[in-house]
Amino acid sequence: MPSVSCVTVTVPATTANLGPGFDCIGAALTLYNQFKFTRLDSAKPELKITVTGAEAERVNTSADNLVYQSFVKLYQHISETPPSVEIEIDLGVPLARGLGSSATAIAGGLVGANLLAGSPLSQAEVMELAIAMEGHPDNVVPALLGGCRLAATGLNEPQRGEPREEGWEICEVPWHSDIVPVVAIPDFELSTSEARRVLPNQYSRADAIFNTAHLGLLLRGLETGREDWLRAALQDRIHQPYRKALIPGYDAVREAAMAAGALGMVISGAGPTLLAVVRRDLCVSVEEAIATTWQQEGIKAQVRSLSIDLHGASSSTEALP
């Protein structure tokens, strides 16, 4: 059988947390990064990385590149030496803005390597590796599978005794077609590690109950499109109260979006992108309100109504005869 010599993987952006679902829920969005892997037949080990698209110059093209690190990780997992490779990255997802750029890089590198290696790992195994690399499941799971997804640690099925925590249960969350994600992407970066550093290590019982109840309400609100449920559900006490100080203009933008009819506004992933959840007929007014307010705060931002990507990472391969 001819072996695969070239693989192209397209991976969607993702928005994680959706307010109360810190580190466990995320949705794929219709914005994409593309990664092309070409096996090189050079005698000595070789790596070439080229990057095109917005902010291409900000991506590291050495062996530390996260796409290549993920590519190597898969080969290590199957105990094989990674081949010499050329990686062409075309960026459509802004970097370090809370739209899952690192998850696209991890998913792209793992899926590309798995296909070049002849698909030794199942999709579930690739997902486990991706979650381990990212450290939490809420971006990589929808990036790989598409849609809105909730991820919770699973339990094994022991022959006897107590089950132990093992693997992940992934659950698709239906997203009502009248409900639109509007993203407001400011022109400054906020790294996830910095945004995680400001979070406390412990929370009160009241805050834990608050988020548990609101996440439950969010799942039913997204499924039914019920506005009163969504309006109440898009609240959080685990991360946003601590992170909003890292996003200049947060309170003013949120107030303007709500006044223009948004059902809620949350921090997308670790920020600084803000995500308004909006009824379809009010998208244009909410977009305008957000853009104007951030401009008044002296911040340039791109504001766009997107859709939920339903396919996740997709790929095509070419083989040498």
Ligand X SMILES: Nc1ncnc2c1ncn2[C@@H]1O[C@H](COP(=O)(O)OP(=O)(O)OP(=O)(O)O)[C@@H](O)[C@H]1O
HSE-up of 111 (CA within 13 Å, CB side)?
A: 28
Question: Does the annotation flag 313 for ligand binding?
Answer: no
Do residues 281 and 273 make contact, with C-beta atoms less than 8 angstroms apart? no
Identity of the residue numbered 304: R
Residue 99 interacts with ligand X (CB under 6 A): yes or no: yes
Q: Which C-beta is closer to ligand HSE: that of 40 or that of 198?
A: 198
Residue 16 interacts with ligand HSE (CB under 6 A): yes or no: yes
Residues in contact with ligand HSE, shown as a per-residue x/- string from 249 to 288 under the rule CB under 6 A: --------------------xx------------------
Taking only Cα atoms into account, the Rg of the chain, rounded to an integer number of angstroms, comes to 20
Query: Which one of 10, 38, 65, 240 is in contact with ligand X (CB under 6 A)?
Result: 65
Residue 196 interacts with ligand HSE (CB under 6 A): yes or no: yes
Contact window for ligand HSE (CB under 6 A) among 52-60, 131-139, 148-156, 297-305: 131-139
Question: Does the annotation flag 94 for ligand binding?
Answer: yes
Residue 192 interacts with ligand X (CB under 6 A): yes or no: yes
Residues in contact with ligand X, shown as a per-residue x/- string from 131 to 170 under the rule CB under 6 A: --------x-------------------------------
Q: Which residue minimizes CB distance to ligand X?
A: 269
Do residues 282 and 159 make contact, with C-beta atoms less than 8 angstroms apart? no
Do residues 47 and 88 make contact, with C-beta atoms less than 8 angstroms apart? no
Q: Which C-beta is closer to ligand HSE: that of 16 or that of 115?
A: 16
Residue 139 interacts with ligand HSE (CB under 6 A): yes or no: yes
Residue 138 interacts with ligand HSE (CB under 6 A): yes or no: yes
Kindly list the residues in this chain that would bind ligand X in the complex (CB under 6 A): 16, 33, 59, 65-67, 89, 91, 95-103, 105, 139, 191-192, 269-270
